[in-house]
Amino acid sequence: MKIKSLTARPILDSRGQWTVEATITLKNGVRATASVPQGKSTGASEAVALPAIAVVRNINNIIGPKLRNKEFEDQAALDAFLNELDGTFTKKKLGANAILAASVAFLRATALAKDIPLWRLIRANSGITVSSYGALAHPRLFINVVNGGLHAGNNLDFQEYLIIPKCRTIKESVEVGVAMYRGLGEALAQAKGRGAKNLGDEGGYAPNFKDNLEPFHILRAVAKKLKLTKKVDFGMDAAATDIKKADSKRLRATYEKLIKQYGLIYIEDPFGEEDFLSFAALNMHFGKKVRIAGDDLMTTNVRRMERAHAEGSVNAVIIKPNQIGSVTETLDAVRTARKYGWAVIVSHRSGETNDSFVADFAYGVGADGLKLGAPARGERIAKYNRLLEIEQNGK
């Protein structure tokens, strides 16, 4: 894979903020682009994303010229080269967003040059055996239907109320997800007026609620009405680092109530990003039936995953490529999670582009889940449609 050129330009994300799109051209004429999403409730230990303007400059003036006429044996070689060029642990010199854009563009170009689907190349690179999937042969959809916290202007402390269809195919999961999402919209409009259907950052509804539990109360009624109770599980991302005046004791009591009353199977970031111990206590108590996942806690960073493992903090991990900043390191994180026996949930960010890379990545590594927002707004729909395409055509 000999590189002819790598260039970048600024593009907008789904919040109208600048991010970066990189385009790579190989000597053999193959061309591919990749763009990078951006979080809002970011973890403090994420690799450093620089402003788009600096990233575009770094790609056009530093990374691009260094890659010109270079040949790389594989993805790992390219990513190692980029990391060395940056030379810092946090990628603060060139920007994790610059490195990831280059990394994904190269991966995509490689898939095109080899004429294989992107997810298949990811699977080949991952070295992860498909048998580690579990019973379902595709990632379950983690659909964020009610937005709160930093992703909405309402009164919810928790950031994401998730529905997780339990279906044999992606197509059926999407159908169940869409039916629930529409049903919820109608129920909210009826209970709270039409304004209740306005959307938050990830396409979920974002009205005010009586309390942090009410969304699940309504969701359960919607599932019952649509006769989908057996086809959908519930979960949440508390994103607790961003909850004002968070109190771990009170939070813990709320989770107990939610698990008992609504049968939640998944809780992400239940406590602040340094509170490994409260995570561990919750995991110890409920870990057999509930997935306790770390996002800001571990930020797709193997070193933080090691600590969470040593302390018994989680039994699941959120995987976000832009938290660590290269394809190879993201694959390392997945491999580490599998070694620990954790569930793997790949995730988009709240500020997205139309790039559907995470859909290929989730499918490729045989993730247990893909967190992809509500079935609304183009940047979320791009991931749904890509998963459907993979299932339908295998490519």
Instruction: For residue 298, give both structure tokens.
Output: 């571990």
Phi, psi of 68 (to 5 degrees): -55, 130
**Set 202, 273, 329, 379: catalytic member:** 202
Residue 377 binds ligand PGA, judged by CB under 6 A: no
In the complex, minimum distance from the CB of residue 144 to ligand PGA, in angstroms, rounded to a whole number: 9
Nearest C-alpha neighbor of 185 from the set 232, 222, 229, 237 = 222
**CB-nearer residue toward ligand PGA: 38 or 75:** 38
Instruction: For residue 96, give both structure tokens.
Output: 């994790």
Q: What is the DSSP string of 352-395?
A: --S--HHHHHHHHTT-SEEE---S-SHHHHHHHHHHHHHHHH--
Instruction: Find which of ligand PGA, Zn ion, none residue 347 binds, CB within 5 to 8 Å per kind.
Output: ligand PGA
Q: Which stretch binds Zn ion (CB under 5 A): 222-230, 237-245, 250-258, 283-291?
A: 237-245
Site for ligand PGA in 154-173 (CB under 6 A): 159
In the complex, minimum distance from the CB of residue 295 to Zn ion, in angstroms, rounded to a whole number: 3
Whether 290 contacts 297, CB under 8 Å: no
Residue of 231, 349, 380, 383 that binds ligand PGA (CB under 6 A): 349
Q: Provide the residue type at 239 as one letter.
A: A
In the complex, minimum distance from the CB of residue 43 to ligand PGA, in angstroms, rounded to a whole number: 7
In this structure, the number of other CB atoms found within 10 A of the CB of residue 368 comes to 24
- Rounded distance, CA 57 to CA 70, Å? 20
First-to-last alpha carbon distance for the chain, in angstroms, is: 21
How far from chain centre, in Å, is Cα 377? 16
**CB-nearer residue toward Zn ion: 19 or 42:** 42
Catalytic residue check, 320: yes
In the complex, minimum distance from the CB of residue 170 to ligand PGA, in angstroms, rounded to a whole number: 21
Q: Of all helices (H) and strands (E), which one includes residue 260?
A: helix 248-262
Site for ligand PGA in 298-337 (CB under 6 A): none
Total residues contacting ligand PGA by CB under 6 A comes to 11
- Rounded distance, CA 368 to CA 166, Å? 12
**Set 91, 231, 320, 371: catalytic member:** 320
Query: Residue of minimal CB distance from Zn ion?
Result: 295
**CB-nearer residue toward ligand PGA: 40 or 70:** 40
Site string for Zn ion, 255-284 (x = CB under 5 A): ------------------------------
The residues, ordered by sequence, that sit 6+ positions from 60 with a Cβ below 8 Å of its Cβ are 7, 8
Q: Which stretch binds Zn ion (CB under 5 A): 88-96, 117-125, 189-197, 290-298?
A: 290-298
**CB-nearer residue toward Zn ion: 58 or 147:** 147
Residue of 79, 233, 237, 360 that binds ligand PGA (CB under 6 A): 237
Residue 239 binds ligand PGA, judged by CB under 6 A: yes
Q: Which residue, chain included where needed, has tokens 């529905």? A: 163
Laid out side by side, the sheet with 3-12 consists of 3-12, 18-26, 31-35
In this structure, the number of other CB atoms found within 10 A of the CB of residue 178 comes to 16
- Rounded distance, CA 161 to CA 374, Å? 10
Catalytic residue check, 202: yes
In this structure, the number of other CB atoms found within 10 A of the CB of residue 58 comes to 23
**CB-nearer residue toward ligand PGA: 209 or 266:** 266
Strand partners, 347: 371
- Rounded distance, CA 329 to CA 349, Å? 18
Site for ligand PGA in 33-72 (CB under 6 A): 39-42
- Rounded distance, CA 335 to CA 323, Å? 16
Residue 295 binds ligand PGA, judged by CB under 6 A: yes
**CB-nearer residue toward ligand PGA: 86 or 295:** 295
Residue of 13, 86, 233, 237 that binds Zn ion (CB under 5 A): 237
Residue 332 binds Zn ion, judged by CB under 5 A: no
Instruction: Output helix, strand, coil percentages for the chain, rounded to the nearest 5.
Output: 45, 15, 35
Q: Which stretch binds ligand PGA (CB under 6 A): 78-86, 218-226, 243-251, 347-355?
A: 347-355
- Rounded distance, CA 115 to CA 295, Å? 34
Instruction: Find which of ligand PGA, Zn ion, none residue 40 binds, CB within 5 to 8 Å per kind.
Output: ligand PGA
Q: Which residues here bind ligand PGA, judged by CB under 6 A?
A: 39-42, 159, 237, 239, 295, 347, 349-350
Which sequence positions are flagged as catalytic? 202, 320
Q: Which residues here bind Zn ion, judged by CB under 5 A?
A: 237, 295
